[in-house]
């Protein structure tokens, strides 16, 4: 689990060594200095900036097969970005690809309110600290900052200014057409989490999004640990699959952690596979071959993922997902591997060939 220092309140200060964030394959938070989650103020806040980063991470990670339910959005977004002549900076793409979808903390901010204006969230990028940015990049790349990221390392202030100009244009081209969908899904999730917080307390809410309370802070096993914070902000993301984002406020008193919104199937305008009859879609040879639910699981394995993440994304019961994964592994189209404390599932080579053949053939017919 790699260590990432929290954002110091002063550019010339290295920060409190007891207050730090650790990241690895996942993410999580909640708990005050005592380690008792009840002593921590927990709030839930949506963030357009974090959602933008999540979607860019998806585009950066996949140049071919995109996991369900993002494939339809992926195609539309790439076309729209091309028409608008909007290109994701190469150094940003490389940051996502080399960091398992994560970003260095100096590019993120803790949402000050629910649904802050994008310009408000981008304002801190106008005061990026060069020393802190370089320290975080050196820690991220202990063997040397790669050439693709050198522009960011050489001039963090200029690249931050580039982001402030680029991100609004990206939003208008790739996400603005889905703004109502994003807002509705996020608000529904926030209401559900708020009920959990009110009726069961912060510990239950933290557990629901994958975090645990530890002495003096919050952690997600194998992913992130934050100590010395008194407030936690949970940020729901429709594009939150994969490594969660995390950030610490400049004074170190507040930490933020993203988590995936349930029901991301709204991006394809339909209910998750198991919420309707498991009848194959006409012309979908993969669904005809193995059934709609299992086809959804197989397509989602384009990205290494866990049983619980699949259940959340697809809207299926964990037991159902587990049964599908067992069958897919037995058939040789998927494989499982252990990454720290997590068990990940992903496509095996025959699965990649199967998807490319059947889904490509389906796409060719649809285009006629």
Percentage of residues in the chain having pLDDT higher than 90: 25
Pairing of strands 41-44, 20-23: unpaired
- Report yes or no on whether pTM surpasses 0.85: no
In the predicted structure, residue 130 carries a pLDDT above the cut 70: yes
- Mean of the per-residue pLDDT values of the chain: 77
CB neighbourhood size of 83 (10 A)? 9
pLDDT band for 12, please (50, 70, 90 cuts). very low
Percentage of residues in the chain having pLDDT higher than 70: 73
pLDDT band for 5, please (50, 70, 90 cuts). very low
Provide the H-helix boundaries in the chain.
Answer: 48-61, 71-83, 90-98, 118-122, 130-140, 150-154, 156-170, 179-200, 202-208, 285-290, 292-300, 307-314, 318-330, 349-367
Residue range 181-193, pLDDT digits in tens: 888 888 888 888 8
Distance CA 79, CA 73 (A): 10
DSSP state of 110: -
Confidence at residue 20, expressed as pLDDT on a 0 to 100 scale: 42
Residue range 25-49, pLDDT digits in tens: 333 333 333 444 455 688 899 999 9
Q: Are 275 and 315 spatial neighbours (Cβ–Cβ below 8 Å)?
A: yes
In the predicted structure, residue 151 carries a pLDDT above the cut 90: yes
Confidence at residue 191, expressed as pLDDT on a 0 to 100 scale: 87
Query: SS in 3 state form for 233-299?
Result: EEEEECCCCCCCCEEECCCCCEEEEEEECCCHHHHHCCCCHHHCCCCCCCCCHHHHHHCHHHHHHHH
Confidence at residue 328, expressed as pLDDT on a 0 to 100 scale: 94
Residue range 266-276, pLDDT digits in tens: 676 543 444 44
Residues 6+ apart with CB under 8 A from 128: 106, 156, 157, 160
Distance CA 20, CA 17 (A): 7
Pairing of strands 342-347, 254-260: unpaired
Measured over the CA atoms of residue 151, residue 66, residue 52 and residue 220, the dihedral's sign is negative
Query: Please, what's the largest Cα pairwise distance for the chain?
Result: 63
Confidence at residue 165, expressed as pLDDT on a 0 to 100 scale: 93
Report the pLDDT averaged over residues 341-366.
Answer: 74
In the predicted structure, residue 299 carries a pLDDT above the cut 80: yes
Q: Are 314 and 274 spatial neighbours (Cβ–Cβ below 8 Å)?
A: yes
Of 112 and 346, the structure prediction assigns the larger pLDDT to 346
Report the pLDDT averaged over residues 311-331.
Answer: 84
pLDDT band for 223, please (50, 70, 90 cuts). low
Confidence at residue 149, expressed as pLDDT on a 0 to 100 scale: 92
């Amino acid at each position: 689990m790699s260590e990432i220092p929290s954002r110091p309140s002063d550019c010339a200060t290295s920060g409190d060594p007891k207050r730090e964030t650790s990241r690895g394959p996942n993410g999580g938070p909640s708990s005050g200095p005592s380690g008792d989650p009840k002593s921590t103020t927990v709030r839930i806040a949506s963030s357009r900036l974090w959602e933008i980063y999540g979607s860019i991470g998806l585009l950066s990670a996949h140049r071919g097969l995109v996991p369900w339910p993002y494939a339809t959005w992926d195609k539309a977004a790439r076309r729209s970005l091309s028409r608008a002549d909007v290109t994701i900076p190469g150094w940003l793409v490389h940051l996502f690809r080399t960091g398992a979808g994560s970003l260095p903390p100096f590019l993120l901010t803790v949402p000050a309110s629910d649904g802050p204006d994008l310009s408000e969230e981008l304002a801190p990028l106008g005061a990026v600290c060069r020393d802190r940015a370089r320290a975080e990049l050196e820690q991220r790349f202990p063997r040397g900052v790669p050439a693709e990221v050198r522009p960011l390392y050489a001039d963090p202030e200029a690249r931050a200014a580039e982001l402030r100009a680029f991100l609004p244009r990206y939003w208008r081209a790739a996400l603005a057409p889905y703004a109502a969908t994003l807002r509705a899904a996020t608000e529904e999730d926030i209401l559900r989490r708020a009920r959990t917080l009110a009726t069961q307390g912060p510990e239950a809410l933290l557990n629901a999004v994958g975090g645990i309370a530890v002495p003096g802070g919050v952690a997600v096993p194998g992913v992130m640990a934050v100590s010395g914070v008194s407030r936690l902000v949970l940020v729901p993301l429709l594009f939150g699959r994969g490594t969660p984002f995390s950030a610490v406020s400049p004074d170190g008193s507040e930490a933020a952690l993203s988590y995936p919104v349930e029901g991301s199937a709204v991006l394809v305008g339909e209910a998750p596979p198991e919420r309707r009859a498991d009848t194959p879609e006409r012309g979908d040879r993969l669904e005809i071959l193995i059934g709609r639910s299992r086809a959804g699981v197989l397509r989602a394995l384009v990205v290494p993922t866990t049983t619980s993440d699949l259940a959340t994304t697809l809207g299926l019961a964990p037991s159902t997902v587990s049964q599908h994964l067992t069958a897919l592994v037995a058939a040789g189209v998927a494989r499982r591997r252990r990454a720290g404390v997590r068990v990940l599932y992903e496509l095996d080579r025959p699965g990649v060939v199967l998807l490319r053949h059947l889904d490509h053939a389906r796409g060719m017919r649809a285009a006629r």
